[in-house]
Structure 1
Amino acid sequence: MTNLVRRDVLKTGGVTALATILPAVPIGAAGTGSASLREIVSLATGWRFHLGHASDPAKDFGFGRSHDTYAKSGDVGTPVAEPKFDDSAWTAVTLPHDWAVDLPFEEFGPAGSEADRTGSFQGFKPVGRMWPATSVGWYRRVIALAKADAGRRLLLQFDGVARDCLVILNGFVVGSTESGYAPFEIDVTDFAKPGEDNVLVIRCDVSLGEAWSYEGAGLYRDVRLVKTAPVHVRRWGATVRCSVETGGATVRVATEIANDGPACEARVRSTVIGPDGKSLVLFADPLALPAWGATTATQETRIVAPALWSLEMPHLYTLISEILVDGTLVDRDTSTFGIRTIRFDANHGFFLNGKPVKIKGTCNHQDHAGVGFAVPDSLHVWRLERLKAMGSNAYRSTHHSPSPAILDACDRMGILMIDETRQMSSNAEGLGQLERMVRQGRNHPSIVLWSIGNEEIHRGTETGARIAETMKRKVYELDGTRPVTEAFNGKFGEGASRVLDVMGCNYYLDAIDPYHAAHPDMPMIGTETGSTVMTRGEYARDDKAGFVPAYDREFPKWATTAEKWWSFYDARPFLSGGFVWTGFDYRGEPTPFERWPENVSNFGQMDLCGFPKDNFYYYRAWWSGEPVLHLFPHWNWAGREGQPVSVWVHSNCDAVELILNGRSLGRQSVVKNTHLEWQVAYAPGRIEAYGYRGGKRVMHAVRETTGVAARIGLSSDRRQLAQGEVAVVRVAILDAKRREMPTASNRVSFTLTGDATLLGVGNGDPRSLEPDHATSRSAFNGLCMALVQAGAKGGPIRLEARGDGLAPAMLPLIGMTKDS
């Protein structure tokens, strides 16, 4: 570890004490009350699922048949909650689970009707008030508790449930939530039966939505049971605050201790482990804990020459928080934090650790081909890796609090984040969602802004200003280290914008300079920008088919091109940066074709599978710092011989030369933040681009006219998979020379052997009505995708792919165990 001062003042419960650097205490050391230590039990497996009904109690397992459903505690009027209920006919599911993605596509109304448009925004999945038979889902699981669990606190933790959910344990309603995105926790100690099987039932109702795009349905994030001693660290209760000064950093630890029992005396032991593995153990003076109450212990130390968290070197420290009662260790909680400074400046933008950083961000929904909203943790990581490969350094979770897996991955990968609450409201529910978001995120160094809303109807009013002021006060109460923003689409300077710390601007480029001139002391950031619409592999608008060209040309009336918005932001130092809408396509909101059967958006720089569109390489050229030479479109234009084709190049070379069938079509100089373009009379063969730096050829790109489809190519982002990890398999249709076929649509069938699951398939076609959970998929413009998830046993895994008239392919993978 970087140097730690040997003796530092600790302040604990108002008592001043001294801390000493001690050898790290091994996990499970003598004096541990092992029977009562914190135990975290994943509830990912063992679930049974069945659809209910939103309007007919007879089809909803009797729930709500009687008016007195909630008249008596412990009886909610459905046999599902009873121990002897037979759920063997229900579907066995593993979390994360999204039942909506498996529903058939449905037309919502006649072509051109408002119902047809509404359906397109939901991805034509039949959930909502119009579809009561598919808008309620029941989950049921048995939890076996040991007799030793008597006397422990039993906490159910949910990272997010879509949407209105009722949680029932042993027939008792123990909790509910109104948000599909906010995490929540329920103490079920009083309702549990140690030494017996306990029946956990969750009823989810997605009749009402929270967004204008696809939202999934059900237990789409993690669920766990946490067992603790009566004296324990509260959830998200260990908070770290760091202040960096010349030569070192002061680290302040606040530990919230709950005591669900008689008054007692406890001691906090905090162990800080540096990136190099060295430890500092901090002991605090004994604390008097009131009966059935809570106390916060504060500790402070100084680290000399700390390892700062940055985009290039995202150093993380580990905090182990331990509670001792009568010398016995009763609870241990682990969290991570980073040491860094942030500052938003009204004239010079954003600074990380005192250095200027232009924020190059993307907005994203939690949605992926093959799985819908039920995105496994490793797939979240893969998506972030793809965004980072594009050159992005920031992520805005839109428009809701993200999965904890995303927060953790951004910390580890050095990606900045705007964390955004779903509901802009100062009512009890809105403030509760905001509080949980901030508590969950405040130790994460990746988070640099809290966002309290997005394009709210009341944003420019005095009502909006009052709501924003209350929400901002709540944020400051929980975390005073990050500024507050809100995403405004117009009405800059009005209403709630006067309350913000950083002005969030969605689009409206023409309003930015006047706002800055009128508010020279207000930092600014582009919370949402771009919104170019593109279909991967298509190069002409086809209104009948529902395709928009992949050139950086088309956008809705409120938006603009990538080239225009980024050139604008890059030229203005006072703008901290911006977040393009969006990194990936997502289900719903299929602008500009809001009609059947369009069910996926066109906004992404990558499609729903994560296959790059051409604009991906525009951002890579001007964001990543890596050499880029991307030539497009493909060169298969049979029937268009002699007709002009618009040929584009995204490159950060000094100049690019274009060559067709050995004949130079000229060299063009590259202008920063722009693209190059030629009009070329089509002739089949070979078109090439050479990139020049310092007058020398340094890069080469080529497109060739291919033959007929002959074989399948398989490749994966990884070959070794730990339990639960997902391999994203790229499936390409090739000609006899193994060149990718850019217009192929062959169907590919998959066979998987070994301890693994074919989790889902996709192809990025925004109109496709093929199922996500299937063993085959048609290619779209030459590509499709398969997701392979490893099991627990490990060993060889083989994915085989076949198609009519195509030579098959096989991809070997290895499942790893803990002992591998």
Structure 2
Amino acid sequence: MERSCKNFLAIALFLFLQCNVISALSQSRKVETLNAGWQFHRGDIKNYFLRSPATDNTQWQTINIPHTWNATDILPQHKRTPYRDIGFYKKTIRNFVKQNDQRYYLYFEGANQETDLYINNQKAGNHKGGYTAFCFDITSYLKTGDNVITIRVNSLFNADIPPLSADFTFFGGIYRDVYMITTAGLHFTLSDYASSGVYIETPAVNNTNGTVKVKSTIVNQTPVSQKFVLQTIITDQENKEISRLNKELVIAAGQQLTAEQLSNNITGIRLWSPDKPYLYRAETQLLLNNQVIDEVTNPIGFRWFKFGPDSGFQLNGKPLKLMGANRHQDYPGMGNALPDEIHYSDMKLLKDMGANFVRLAHYPQDPAVLHAADELGLLVWEEIPLVNEITISKAYNDNARNMLHEMIRQHYNHPSVILWGYMNEIYWKHRFIDSSLVNLHTQKTIELAKQLEAIARSEDKNRYTAMAMHNYPLYEKSGLSDIPMIAGWNLYHGWYYDNFEDFGKFMDAQHKLHPKRIHLISEYGAGSDPRVHTDKPVRFDFSIEGQKRFLESFIKQIQERPYIAGATVWNLIDFSSEMRVDATPRINNKGLTTVNRTPKDAYYLYQAALSKKPVLKIAETDYQQRCIQLKSGQQEAIQTIDIYTNLAKAELFLNNQSLGSKATADHKISWDVLFKQSGEYMLKIVAQGDTATYEDRLPITVNLVPSDLKTIKNMDLAINAGSHYSFRDDHSGTIWLPDQPYQPGSWGYINPDKKPKIEKIASLEDINNTDLDPLYQSMRTGMKQYKFDVADGWYEVELLCVEPLPKMRRFADSPEPPPHPGGLRIMSVMINNMPFLHDVDLIKDYGYNNPLREKIMVKASNGNGITLDFTPNAIVSGIRVRAVE
């Protein structure tokens, strides 16, 4: 992994610094980062450019780029403070010597979301949009001597700049690299939507031969006409020249021209594919008097592909199921201001999973991501950030069109890219629009979609277009789903709605209704929290087991249907979503890995299903500490142990004792393992491959809790009230057990009507002043008592309660909770006839989603144990009973 990463960085630095006008190989083109030693001020500075240095008292801090001011302060715990803001950056270039025959540019890979550039207090440019590169010609603003660069970045909501809302965090700042580029007066243009000015195609390719077409735009910013040679040299990975193209051209002073070059048939080529991503290199040069005065280098991958409504996807004439994941671009403590190494390692993580496909959701990503996809062999769907809704305005449409031009031209030369997308769940906000405006919004959305579709097809005739749609009938009814070349579906059957099997039924119906339509599954997934476990997962419980069952079903259904060209699971990585709640607030936890890139069990399911390398993994890595409540009469417990593998069969061992061998079915084997006592165990799985034997080991700890509480020494019993899942507190190691009805001799709740309530997550709210949200998000109401038939002695009883905000699931675009005067619930609690809580009004006394957590010492005597009596309207999320000396 380390060597691979180093190799990538060497190649990426060479290609990346050249492909997008960032080339330092020729003497005339000089490129250097301007990342270090910036001064930063968070917040607007009124009349900044009217202030004199002597009177300016602005507070600045020294930072380096990439930078975001939201790296650690996205909605701090329990606060809803605005995080979209304005930031000022400034840097002085000292002792600069301006050459009259050179041009100077400032190139930004990305800044969110509106950027104003000032050079020596003069405005030099403006750019709208947070996810594409942009470039400013600053030649006329520079002088010999010291030059001050000032940049104002505005991430405040702007109805005319997509995205308007989304289920991801809008980090503000200059979060990608910044470059100073110096060129000769005659050079490849830097002003064509910040592209390289050179566009590469492979118009004719077969298994052994191919041609290369190069289109270059050159600008002459000298005062005289220039006669020059346009040259492209194509080399292989051994630096062997395989083709050279030359064209003599003349360009008038102050003019721009576009020239095309077409190679002869190149024989003996090696094709690019996910299995063998062979890259050639095209060095496109300008020669003046036989001297190279400008040069741009681009990768070339010889491949051809097509989609079909029945056959799915074909690459280089062979069927290929596109299987992979979506990816967002943030990391804990960094926000979206990532170094190239993390971009690469994320793509490597996906490739190691066996994937061949990635959707860059929901915006163009760092050039390092595209270079990694080229090198590693990952096919790419890239899209602009039109998410949830549009604004009906000319400015919004202009910005959307500009973003599409920028994305396509900047990333045109990457052989990994096969799809351009331009809308994601664009009708999602229709539910919140006044009904009288829905038709108008629908009409304007369709008009914009047709414009974007026309742009994409005009810009790139070799790739396909796509749109991602959620399960909403209006896409079909309005005809929006017929506009793109490919229909992408964001489907969550068995998570947000319906059952797993309804996914296949939905897609079969779509295929039948639209036999000529090409289908991709752009999103599917289930949330999971590694702290939450259950042997009986239900929809939307955020258990690891629920995520596994969901994805096992979807992978099988997708692979069984050849007309589904491919699918990208949502998401490769848990990612930041500033106002999402659920089990892990401010994190969308549908990832196959945690935010820190630690694989969850489901990651290994994909590895077993997709990888061509032998895979054998005990898929219980998130459940190594288990606490199991035994039922009356039980002395031992059975636990299901899952194995993910692509080998034919495997044998499981528990503490070196064989539990038998089983055949693999759908990439999985499961054993029901009997644990006879509490303690530490070692699981080992062994399987025979074609040429080697493989094994995996996993230590687990099992704590069997006897039903008879009187037999437990030093008892410490924690109950996750109202839940069907256990919850592990990673701070203390405490495991809170699933709830149960009262059993004599043991413990449990007593309901007045003796009918068990539905067991599922009761609240999806962010619980304040704690990160133990799943413990409070389940709750039991209406019970009369909880009884614990403990032995006589002293106990500490701890009670956890919270009043959830009912029927309000907040995303980034949702309102604040309404104020409440209280009186909704008044509760009292007696413990062994001793008052504990009296007439507590959780809303009035604590507030919505603010937990109550209190303890009391209680003595159990005369064999009566501990009884908690509740008023009929009580609510409880957790009870802990701990024996004390």
TM above 0.5, one fold? Answer: yes
- Quick one: structure 1 residues 178 and 679, their matched pair in 2 at CA, closer, same or farther if it must change by over 3 Å? farther
- Residue 97 of structure 1 aligns with which residue? 67
- Residue 499 of structure 1 aligns with which residue? 483
Task: Answer yes or no: is the 8 Å Cα contact 1:600–1:767 preserved in 2.
Answer: no
- How far the C-alpha of 1:693 sits from its partner, in A, is 5.1
| 1:613 and 2:600 are equivalent in the alignment | yes
| 1:649 and 2:643 are equivalent in the alignment | yes
Task: Answer yes or no: is the 8 Å Cα contact 2:307–2:314 preserved in 1.
Answer: yes
- Residue 624 of structure 1 aligns with which residue? 611
Task: Answer yes or no: is the 8 Å Cα contact 1:39–1:228 preserved in 2.
Answer: yes
- How far the C-alpha of 1:161 sits from its partner, in A, is 0.4
Picking from 148, 154, 168, the partner of 1:199 is: 148
TM-score, normalised to structure 1's length?
0.71
Picking from 569, 579, 591, the partner of 1:580 is: 569
| 1:319 and 2:282 are equivalent in the alignment | yes
**Can you give the 5+ residue segments of structure 1 that lack an aligned partner in the other structure?**
1-26, 28-32, 54-59, 64-75, 110-118, 120-124, 129-134, 555-559, 709-741, 748-764, 771-820
- How far the C-alpha of 1:402 sits from its partner, in A, is 0.9
| 1:45 and 2:36 are equivalent in the alignment | yes
- Residue 380 of structure 1 aligns with which residue? 343
- Residue 209 of structure 2 aligns with which residue? 248
- Residue 557 of structure 1 aligns with which residue? none
| 1:571 and 2:533 are equivalent in the alignment | no
Counterpart residue identity of residue 566, structure 2: G
- How far the C-alpha of 1:88 sits from its partner, in A, is 10
- How far the C-alpha of 1:701 sits from its partner, in A, is 3.3
Higher relative contact order (CA 8 A, sep 6+): 1
| 1:219 and 2:174 are equivalent in the alignment | yes
Task: Answer yes or no: is the 8 Å Cα contact 1:658–1:689 preserved in 2.
Answer: yes
- Quick one: structure 1 residues 675 and 259, their matched pair in 2 at CA, closer, same or farther if it must change by over 3 Å? farther
- Quick one: structure 1 residues 35 and 580, their matched pair in 2 at CA, closer, same or farther if it must change by over 3 Å? closer
- How far the C-alpha of 1:485 sits from its partner, in A, is 0.6
- How far the C-alpha of 1:698 sits from its partner, in A, is 4.2
- Residue 350 of structure 1 aligns with which residue? 313
- Residue 309 of structure 1 aligns with which residue? 272
- How far the C-alpha of 1:366 sits from its partner, in A, is 0.4
Tell me the distance in 1 between the aligned counterparts of 2:581 and 2:640: 22
- Residue 600 of structure 1 aligns with which residue? 587
- Offset from partner CA, 1:385-406 (integer Å, 9 cap, x none): 1111111221111100010010
Tell me the distance in 2 between the aligned counterparts of 1:335 and 1:101: 33
- Offset from partner CA, 1:173-193 (integer Å, 9 cap, x none): 222222111211111112111
Tell me the distance in 2 between the aligned counterparts of 1:500 and 1:334: 32
- How far the C-alpha of 1:696 sits from its partner, in A, is 12
**Equivalent residue of 1:470, what SS?**
helix
Counterpart residue identity of residue 172, structure 2: A
Task: Answer yes or no: is the 8 Å Cα contact 2:33–2:179 preserved in 1.
Answer: yes
| 1:532 and 2:550 are equivalent in the alignment | no
- Quick one: structure 1 residues 647 and 504, their matched pair in 2 at CA, closer, same or farther if it must change by over 3 Å? same
Counterpart residue identity of residue 241, structure 1: E
- Residue 157 of structure 2 aligns with which residue? 208
Tell me the distance in 1 between the aligned counterparts of 2:132 and 2:676: 54
**Equivalent residue of 1:244, what SS?**
coil
**Equivalent residue of 2:410, what SS?**
helix
- Quick one: structure 1 residues 591 and 648, their matched pair in 2 at CA, closer, same or farther if it must change by over 3 Å? farther
Task: Answer yes or no: is the 8 Å Cα contact 1:162–1:206 preserved in 2.
Answer: yes
- Residue 106 of structure 1 aligns with which residue? 76
- Quick one: structure 1 residues 661 and 178, their matched pair in 2 at CA, closer, same or farther if it must change by over 3 Å? same
Q: Equivalent pairs: percent with the same residue? A: 25
Aligned pairs for 1:473-492 (under 5 A) are: 473-490=454-471, 491=473
Tell me the distance in 2 between the aligned counterparts of 1:682 and 1:339: 60
Tell me the distance in 2 between the aligned counterparts of 1:315 and 1:681: 51
- Structure possessing the higher radius of gyration over alpha carbons: 2
- Offset from partner CA, 1:57-105 (integer Å, 9 cap, x none): xxx2544xxxxxxxxxxxx4355xx6x7879962221111122113375
- Quick one: structure 1 residues 769 and 147, their matched pair in 2 at CA, closer, same or farther if it must change by over 3 Å? farther
- Residue 230 of structure 2 aligns with which residue? 268
- How far the C-alpha of 1:551 sits from its partner, in A, is 1.5
- How far the C-alpha of 1:148 sits from its partner, in A, is 4.6
- How far the C-alpha of 1:447 sits from its partner, in A, is 0.5
Counterpart residue identity of residue 252, structure 1: K
Counterpart residue identity of residue 518, structure 2: P
Task: Answer yes or no: is the 8 Å Cα contact 1:541–1:548 preserved in 2.
Answer: no
Task: Answer yes or no: is the 8 Å Cα contact 1:342–1:351 preserved in 2.
Answer: yes
- Offset from partner CA, 1:542-571 (integer Å, 9 cap, x none): 99xx993212448xxxxx811121111100
- Quick one: structure 1 residues 588 and 247, their matched pair in 2 at CA, closer, same or farther if it must change by over 3 Å? closer
- Offset from partner CA, 1:263-293 (integer Å, 9 cap, x none): 4333212111222211256353432323322
- Residue 698 of structure 2 aligns with which residue? 703
Tell me the distance in 2 between the aligned counterparts of 1:488 and 1:623: 25
Aligned pairs for 1:517-556 (under 5 A) are: 517-529=512-524, 531-536=525-530, 538-540=532-534, 548-553=542-547
Tell me the distance in 2 between the aligned counterparts of 1:341 and 1:38: 34
| 1:561 and 2:550 are equivalent in the alignment | yes
Aligned pairs for 1:153-164 (under 5 A) are: 153-164=103-114
- How far the C-alpha of 1:590 sits from its partner, in A, is 7.7
Task: Answer yes or no: is the 8 Å Cα contact 2:312–2:319 preserved in 1.
Answer: yes
Counterpart residue identity of residue 208, structure 1: F
- How far the C-alpha of 1:592 sits from its partner, in A, is 6.1
Counterpart residue identity of residue 367, structure 1: D
Task: Answer yes or no: is the 8 Å Cα contact 1:423–1:433 preserved in 2.
Answer: no
| 1:180 and 2:136 are equivalent in the alignment | no
- Offset from partner CA, 1:41-65 (integer Å, 9 cap, x none): 2111121112124xxxxxx2544xx
| 1:407 and 2:370 are equivalent in the alignment | yes
Tell me the distance in 2 between the aligned counterparts of 1:247 and 1:618: 36
- Residue 114 of structure 1 aligns with which residue? none
**Can you give the 5+ residue segments of structure 2 that lack an aligned partner in the other structure?**
1-17, 19-23, 191-195, 391-395, 431-440, 494-502, 631-635, 704-727, 734-765, 772-885
- How far the C-alpha of 1:496 sits from its partner, in A, is 2.5
**Equivalent residue of 1:577, what SS?**
strand
Task: Answer yes or no: is the 8 Å Cα contact 2:32–2:180 preserved in 1.
Answer: yes
**Equivalent residue of 2:346, what SS?**
helix
Tell me the distance in 1 between the aligned counterparts of 2:66 and 2:657: 55
- Residue 437 of structure 2 aligns with which residue? none
Task: Answer yes or no: is the 8 Å Cα contact 1:240–1:253 preserved in 2.
Answer: yes
- How far the C-alpha of 1:589 sits from its partner, in A, is 6.2
Tell me the distance in 2 between the aligned counterparts of 1:273 and 1:145: 40
- Quick one: structure 1 residues 324 and 86, their matched pair in 2 at CA, closer, same or farther if it must change by over 3 Å? farther
- Quick one: structure 1 residues 332 and 636, their matched pair in 2 at CA, closer, same or farther if it must change by over 3 Å? closer
Once superposed, what is the RMSD of the aligned Cα atoms? 3.5
- Quick one: structure 1 residues 152 and 518, their matched pair in 2 at CA, closer, same or farther if it must change by over 3 Å? same
**Equivalent residue of 2:270, what SS?**
coil
Tell me the distance in 2 between the aligned counterparts of 1:86 and 1:291: 44
Task: Answer yes or no: is the 8 Å Cα contact 1:659–1:688 preserved in 2.
Answer: yes
TM-score, normalised to structure 2's length?
0.66
- Residue 399 of structure 2 aligns with which residue? 429
